[in-house]
Amino acid sequence: MKKIKLYSLSCLLALPVLFAQEPVASEQITEEVSLVQKFTPNVEELTSRLDLQQIMDSGGVILYLLMAMSVVAVMLILVFSVSLRGRRIAPTSFVREIELSLKNGDYEEAVNSCKKNSSPVSAITMTALSYLERAGDDADPELLRQIVEGEGMRQVGRLQSQITYLMDIGVIAPMVGLLGTVMGMLKSFSGVALNMAQARPTVLADGVSQALVTTAAGLFVAIPAMIAYSFFRGRLAKLTANLELVAAEIVTTLVHRKSR
């Protein structure tokens, strides 16, 4: 009984000490929380400030290469948007002028008009007139058709070879991004393998971020390039059909004129 009374008495004596220490502990916790809040930066401000910089640093040289490819793709899209038009391939006013000159037999005027125009129709007409000038009265209508068709195919092939640059960018960009992915993964694993005991999460994070950034950048460049290529390929197919029709009309006019 005495032991129980002494134990209970000691517990009662210890209570004031515990209650006296509790405010001190709470004050320390409050001070620590305030210090953490003071020295911890705002997450939103940090991500908004370092987002672009982190992306550029993570991508490395591969990202700059993809950026250069994207600039080239944008320039090609702008150029093709202007050059692949009906008035650039087969201008209506020029075609009417050429047909009128050929019907009237004024070949010299037709040649002068072709020299002032740089469209594919002008090149086709110049080829036909050059053959007629060389052949003279011995001109073969069938050979004239073949010459005009050959020049038309050459002009169409030249236009098609230009838009294939967009397809090349669309194919190469994902491969460049995949190269950055492989380099990033090698960076991560080599950092762990060389120093297994002191491997830090930042080493893995740097490599993985490079892999993800370059992969995304490669797709970001390739997808618009392939969409633009598909669009210009369809437009070129329509322009090619119109060019073939105009070339056939020019050949028909020349053949009828020579047969008179």
Residue 125 within a domain: yes
pLDDT tens for 161-205 read: 889 999 999 999 999 988 888 887 777 666 565 555 555 555 565
What's the number of domains the chain is made of?
1
Residue 116 within a domain: yes
| pLDDT tops 50 at residue 254 | yes
Residue 63 within a domain: yes
Q: Which amino acid is at 197?
A: A
pLDDT tens for 25-45 read: 455 545 544 544 443 444 344
Q: Model pTM? A: 0.69
- Rounded to 5 degrees, φ, ψ at 199 are -65, 125
- What is the domain range of residue 66? 59-259
Residue 1 within a domain: no
Residue 32 within a domain: no
Q: What is the largest CA-CA distance in the chain?
A: 144
Residue 52 within a domain: no
Comparing 29-38, 87-96, 168-177, 218-227, which segment has the lowest mean pLDDT? 29-38
Calpha distance 260→257 (Å, rounded) = 6
Which 3 state secondary structure label does DSSP give 110? helix
User: Residue 131 has what pLDDT?
Assistant: 84
Calpha distance 75→56 (Å, rounded) = 22
Residue 24 within a domain: no
Calpha distance 78→8 (Å, rounded) = 91
- Rounded to 5 degrees, φ, ψ at 120 are -60, -30
Residue 49 within a domain: no
